[in-house]
Amino acid sequence: MRFTFCLLMLWGTSARAAELPDTSRMNVLFINIEDCNAGVFGCYGNAICRTPNIDRFARSAVLFDSAYCQGISCNPSRSSFLTGLRPTTTNVYSNSDVMDDLLPTGTLTLPEVVKAGGFTTANVGKLFHRLEYADRPMLAFDRLEMHDKPEGWKGPGPILNFPPKRPGWEKAPADQKSPEFREWKRKHSDRYGDSGLNREEEYDYRMAATAAALLRDFAKQPAGQRFFLSVSQSKPHTPLISPKKYVDIYDPTKIPPPAAPVDSLVNFPAHSLKRARGGNPDLFRDAQPSLQQAREAIAAYYACVTFVDENVGMMLDALEETGLDRNTIVIFFGDHGFHLGDHGFWSKYSMLEATRRVPLIVRVPGAPANGQVCRQFIELVDLFPTIGELAGLAVPANLEGTSFAPLLGDANRTWKRAVFMSGGPADRGHSVRNRRYSYLEYEGNRPGAALFDLERDPWETRNLVDDPQLADVRNEMAALLKAGWRGALPPAQ
């Protein structure tokens, strides 16, 4: 039996109110991208991958350059940012952990709190990792598009109808530990290149087109009725396939090889990452690729990102056409990152930068910091309290993130000292990153620790945890990790 969490905190006026416009009547467009390495966007400094729509959006918004997720894959990360709790509290550490069975009694999720705040709610595509993990929270949506329906949900049918998908795609077996699932993964994940589909046949296009249609529909709502629309893009999650026109944009011979070689990570304790030198969980499952294959795979990843960029552009165009852009908060982010061959990894599941750093771009119409890059530390667990503050929602009092709304007023404000992340289940552990160093501790059967100097070694190739000259640094970082997120909060405003 579940109990509604009684301790709610209603956001009121605060210091930031003097700097931000009144956001209490604004809509929210919440765009989440799967497995997206932050370094692929032009606006994040990538000179090869083409992302003109997202770059244009970033110029009108605040780009968070140091945003980090708290879980190493979909389910741990999404369970965290959608509850405003960290994996140490959600108890969700892997993609097979059933969130609804593990959350502390009475935990409320973001959709439920948004719905209780009076929003019209709509979701297109993935939000929580799987419906059966989060059956109850999905009941909070008035509209559910391109998503399985929870038992008892009674909403309208699809706003757009598409021709049936081409055959060839099988639903994933439910048991992620079964041989059948491994075989499904081999067929459906370990691929890159031309999808053989036209743009309009692709699921991600259809999700974006559906979102654009919903926006046009919301534009007809009575004045004062706010909407919350969450939309997913499944790319650039594996398989790294997209319509040929995107694949053809990139010449693999012009793609630089992965930055950190396969044999880097000397003396690194995480067992699962060492294993990836043979085969990976998502891509190149049987063996490491040749240099040519690595370049082709990165090019294919870029093609997927360019495809996503066009889809996001379609949604942003619908916002502008309807005039909703003037009254809609747009949050664009990735659920976690992805290793593009660095250290021989072609997946997520690490507590290294490529997994934990995520793209995050936020536009609040009229915010003073729009157009700026914010280099302060953000954690995805901060999204829930931030939306709560901006929308004036009654949020649970036990949230484990911090609203970053003040940074939308002043991007240079002093903020968090560090960010935190947990890993598992293969290598259960916890990590902390501050401006200079990254420190990881692994527990369980294979305990160990790692320390990286990110200034001298940004790709985390040399574990310095036993370097006697850095003994003080190790002790400081271990103390920071032990103190946890409460020890790294922004100074009182």
Enumerate binding residues for Ca ion (CB under 5 A): 34-35, 74, 335
Q: Where does 380-486 have alpha helices with state H?
A: 383-391, 405-409, 471-483
Cα 282 to Cα 280: distance, rounded to the nearest angstrom: 6
Nearest to 217 by CA among 111, 319, 112, 332: 319
- For the bound state, the minimum distance from the C-beta of residue 365 to Ca ion, rounded and expressed in Å, comes to 29
Cis? peptide before 447, omega within 30° of 0: no
Task: Please say which residue, 355 or 402, places its beta carbon nearer to Ca ion.
Answer: 355
Query: Residue 256 class from Cβ within 10 Å (0-12 exposed, 13-18 middle, 19+ buried)?
Result: exposed
- For the bound state, the minimum distance from the C-beta of residue 206 to Ca ion, rounded and expressed in Å, comes to 19
Q: Where does 146-270 have alpha helices with state H?
A: 179-188, 203-218, 244-247
Cα 35 to Cα 70: distance, rounded to the nearest angstrom: 14
The token pair at 327 is 């009254």
- For the bound state, the minimum distance from the C-beta of residue 433 to Ca ion, rounded and expressed in Å, comes to 20
Decide: 334 and 361 in contact? Cβ < 8 Å: no
In sequence order, the 6+-apart residues with CB closer than 8 A to the CB of 473 are 437, 451
- For the bound state, the minimum distance from the C-beta of residue 237 to Ca ion, rounded and expressed in Å, comes to 6
- For the bound state, the minimum distance from the C-beta of residue 253 to Ca ion, rounded and expressed in Å, comes to 30
- For the bound state, the minimum distance from the C-beta of residue 147 to Ca ion, rounded and expressed in Å, comes to 16
Residue nearest to Ca ion (CB): 74
- For the bound state, the minimum distance from the C-beta of residue 92 to Ca ion, rounded and expressed in Å, comes to 13
Instruction: Categorise residue 371: left if φ over 0, alpha if ψ from -120 to 50, beta otherwise.
Output: left
- For the bound state, the minimum distance from the C-beta of residue 218 to Ca ion, rounded and expressed in Å, comes to 27
Cis? peptide before 425, omega within 30° of 0: yes
The token pair at 240 is 């790294």
Decide: 218 and 29 in contact? Cβ < 8 Å: no
Cα 381 to Cα 396: distance, rounded to the nearest angstrom: 13
